[in-house]
Amino acid sequence: MGILQAGMLDSPYSLTEVRVLFELAHAGRLETGELRALLDLDAGYLSRILGRFEAGGLISRERSAADARKQVVSLTEAGAATFDGLDARSSEQIERLLAGLPDERQRRLVACMATIRELLGGPAEREPYLIRPPRTGDLGWVVHRHGELYSAEWGWGMEFERLVARIVADYDPARDAGWIAEIGGERAGCVFCVHEDDTTARLRMLLVEPSARGLGLGRALVEECVRHARDRGYERITLWTRDCLAGARRIYEAAGFELESEERGTENGIEVGEQRWTLGLRRPA
């Protein structure tokens, strides 16, 4: 991206200098001590940067009204215009960088960046989500995302995607139920409750996008599925999963499911542990 070159974005400014302009542009006014702490810069280094900016007419400095010992820094009109130009060039550079990626790969890239931010920056903020019934186009998305996501994360192949496609083909809206989770208008997860026999329902195709994990979405989808099965009068609800899906297993255990059986199997040449879990739904007399 050119950030290690002497001048970032074809400008005479280094990465650190551009970051100083960025913080001033977004904060409006900052005390030099605040700016130094924010960027973790050496006091002498920051002083030299500010001196250069002041000489170039990019910033103005004045004494703090609250404490005359402190200086407050802000961008001048020329400084704001300089930052706006750099910001526009940065956006153009990112557009060129992503231009060769189809929309789905761009979404994957953003999801991975969100995961990095979550892991390095502490717990993710809880975003509002919507859980709704499926509508036209959702079933194709369910097959598509199961195929792509489980191939990328676990190496499962096309046979797994075909299995999901068969499950979706058997879905009967008149008898079964499903839910799609959305965040910001984008699909973020799904789950389905299907008829197994007169007394047993089955939870199927739970999926939460990587970018939406940690928000409680999986738990909410499972609770919706269990609530529906109980309201429809089923005596139990079962599910099939694999032992490597630890996050999903924790959700099932928290909802009260218990491991009923387990056996070894393979998927795309990879050994997996096939598990069946069950939750009784009978209400106390």
| Residues 6 or more apart whose Cβ sits within 8 Å of residue 151 | 157, 160, 161
What pLDDT score does 154 carry? 92
Please give the tally of structural domains in the chain.
Answer: 2
Amino acid residing at 139? L
> What distance in Å separates the CA atoms of residue 84 and residue 88, rounded to the nearest whole number?
6
Distance between start and end Cα atoms, the chain: 67
Are both 190 and 275 inside the same structural domain? Answer: yes
Q: Is the dihedral of CA 152, 155, 161, 164 positive or negative?
A: negative
| Torsion angle, alpha carbons of 138, 251, 232, 132, to 10 | -30
Are both 59 and 155 inside the same structural domain? Answer: no
What pLDDT score does 71 carry? 85
Q: pTM of this prediction?
A: 0.58
- Do 59 and 53 meet the contact criterion of CB atoms below 8 Å apart? yes
CATH label of the domain that carries residue 18: 1.10.10.10
What are the 10-residue block averages of pLDDT along the chain, 285 residues in total?
60 86 87 87 89 91 79 90 88 86 80 76 68 95 96 92 96 95 92 95 96 89 95 95 92 94 91 94 65
Are both 156 and 272 inside the same structural domain? Answer: yes
Q: Domain ends where: 85, 100, 115?
A: 100
Q: Is residue 120 part of a domain?
A: no
> What distance in Å separates the CA atoms of residue 11 and residue 89, rounded to the nearest whole number?
10
What pLDDT score does 285 carry? 47
Distance from chain centroid for Cα 25: 27
Are both 87 and 134 inside the same structural domain? Answer: no
> What distance in Å separates the CA atoms of residue 245 and residue 49, rounded to the nearest whole number?
50
Q: Is residue 216 part of a domain?
A: yes
CATH label of the domain that carries residue 263: 3.40.630.30
Are both 254 and 145 inside the same structural domain? Answer: yes
Task: List the structure tokens of 223.
Answer: 């609770």
> What distance in Å separates the CA atoms of residue 50 and residue 45, rounded to the nearest whole number?
9
Are both 137 and 81 inside the same structural domain? Answer: no
Whole domain around residue 200: which residue ranges? 130-280
Ramachandran bin of 176, using left for φ above 0, alpha for ψ from -120 to 50, beta for the remaining angles: beta
Q: 3-state DSSP call for residue 272?
A: strand
Q: Secondary structure of 33-73 in the HEC alphabet?
A: HHHHHHHCCCHHHHHHHHHHHHHCCCEEEEECCCCCCCEEE
Are both 49 and 134 inside the same structural domain? Answer: no
Are both 20 and 85 inside the same structural domain? Answer: yes
